[in-house]
């Protein structure tokens, strides 16, 4: 994972965007040495979240 400062990302944003697209490696943006943002490749969900969760809750029989 690459870490860059806000100033550096401002100057070279397109190069970092291309790096993320090509390698899939995320880039962490720091502010005074502390991580504040992450740029990562977009991966769409295979289905809508509601569709994924539908019928996923199991009902257990009540204990007597």
Domains, the chain, ranges and CATH?
2-53 (3.40.1620)
* H or E, element range at 29: strand 27-31
User: What local confidence, expressed as pLDDT, does residue 64 receive?
Assistant: 65
What's the pLDDT at 34? 97
d(Cα 48, Cα 32) in Å, to the nearest integer? 38
Residue 12: predicted pLDDT: 96
How far is residue 17's CA from residue 21's CA, in Å, rounded to a whole number? 6
The Cβ-side half-sphere exposure at 14, using a 13 Å CA radius, reads 0
Q: In angstroms, rounded to a whole number, what is the distance separating the alpha carbons of residues 37 and 31?
A: 9
Summarize pLDDT for 8-61 with one digit per residue, the tens.
Answer: 999 999 999 999 999 999 999 999 999 999 999 998 877 777 777 777 777 777
pLDDT beyond 80 at 6: yes
Q: Say if CB 45 and CB 52 are below 8 A apart.
A: yes
């Amino acid at each position: 994972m690459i870490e860059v400062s806000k100033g550096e990302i401002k100057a070279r944003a397109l190069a970092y965007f291309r790096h993320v697209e090509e390698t899939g490696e995320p880039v962490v943006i720091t502010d005074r040495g502390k991580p504040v943002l992450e740029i990562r490749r977009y991966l769409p969900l295979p289905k809508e979240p509601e569709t994924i969760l539908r019928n996923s809750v199991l009902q257990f029989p009540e204990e007597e």
